[in-house]
């Protein structure tokens, strides 16, 4: 948004946030439960906000803008298609739901990385960044956990899991904000945190969490942590 006064960027992004939410509801118009009204549209809204922040923060060439716009359209269409499959699966079983879960999982990681990379790059205070991390990650966890149960959704249990998981990501973001990390590394760290926490709890919800699966997620977390420690410049 190079031709718009920077002082108005916040209000424009807020307007985009609200518009993307209601347009997402309109695109999959159906009867939604209160939980679905929150969980079903967190991915498209956070994706839209991520791209809005990027365009407000960086000036891009016309060609780059076209590529980013096409990327946004493809990812958004894929997300909305998956969300529509989930919404239909609440009423009846359809064979595409397993593929939609895989797409939703990958989209969650992509949005997590993009959103937190850009938010951390804004230079916010540690407390404000942790608060945003809690809200955004809780919403991402809400849709991620909802995808597992669908018909058998226990909203109270999923809200509890989402809030606790959001607090974990918030605490990790607060701790890492004191490290000399650049925005992409912060985005990678929090995407890995979401991957581990969501993966473990999804297996727990499905009641197929084993020690081997838990160890695999711990190994991923340890590998990312080691990579961050080794690749970070700790000099004064």
Q: What is the pLDDT of residues 6-65, one digit of tens each?
A: 556 667 777 877 887 787 777 776 666 677 777 777 888 888 888 888 888 777 788 888
CA distance 169 to 158: 16
Average pLDDT, stretch 210-230?
Answer: 92
Q: What is the DSSP letter of 208?
A: -
Confidence class for position 115, pLDDT limits 50, 70, 90: very high
The whole-model pTM stands at 0.85
pLDDT for 8: 60
Torsion over CA: 199, 98, 21, 10 (sign): positive
pLDDT tens for residues 125-145? 999 999 999 999 999 998 888
- pLDDT at residue 236 is higher than 70: no
Q: Cα(first)–Cα(last) distance of the chain, in Å?
A: 36
Q: Residue 156 — very low, low, confident or very high, per pLDDT cuts 50/70/90?
A: confident
Confidence (pLDDT) at 15:
82
Q: Alpha-carbon distance 129 to 146, whole Å?
A: 26
Q: What is the CA radius of gyration of the chain?
A: 18
DSSP letters for 17-31: HHHHHHHHHHHT-S-
Q: CA 145 to CA 134: how far, in whole Å?
A: 16
Could you read off the pLDDT of 60-106 as tens digits, one per residue? 788 888 998 899 889 888 888 888 887 777 677 777 778 888 888 88
């Amino acid at each position: 948004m190079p031709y718009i006064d920077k002082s108005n960027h916040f209000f424009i992004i807020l307007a985009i946030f609200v518009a993307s939410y209601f347009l997402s509801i309109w695109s999959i118009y159906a009867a939604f439960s209160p939980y679905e009204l929150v969980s079903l549209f967190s991915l498209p809204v956070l994706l839209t906000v991520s791209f809005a922040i990027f365009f407000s923060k960086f000036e891009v060439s016309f060609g780059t803008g076209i590529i980013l716009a096409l990327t946004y359209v493809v990812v958004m269409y894929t997300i909305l298609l998956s969300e529509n499959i989930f919404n239909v699966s609440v009423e009846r079983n359809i064979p595409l739901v397993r593929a939609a879960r895989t797409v939703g999982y990958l989209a969650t990681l992509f949005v997590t990385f993009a959103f937190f990379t850009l938010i951390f790059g804004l230079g916010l205070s540690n407390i404000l960044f942790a608060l945003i991390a809690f809200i955004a990650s809780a919403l991402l966890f809400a849709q991620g956990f909802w995808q597992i149960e669908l018909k058998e959704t226990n909203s109270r249990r999923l809200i509890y899991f989402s809030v606790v998981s959001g607090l974990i990501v918030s605490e990790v973001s607060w701790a890492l904000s004191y490290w000399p990390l650049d925005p992409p590394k912060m985005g990678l760290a929090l995407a890995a945190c979401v991957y581990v926490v969501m993966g473990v709890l999804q297996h727990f919800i499905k009641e197929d969490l084993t020690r081997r699966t838990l160890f695999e997620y711990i190994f991923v977390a340890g590998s990312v942590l080691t990579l961050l420690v080794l690749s970070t410049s700790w000099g004064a």
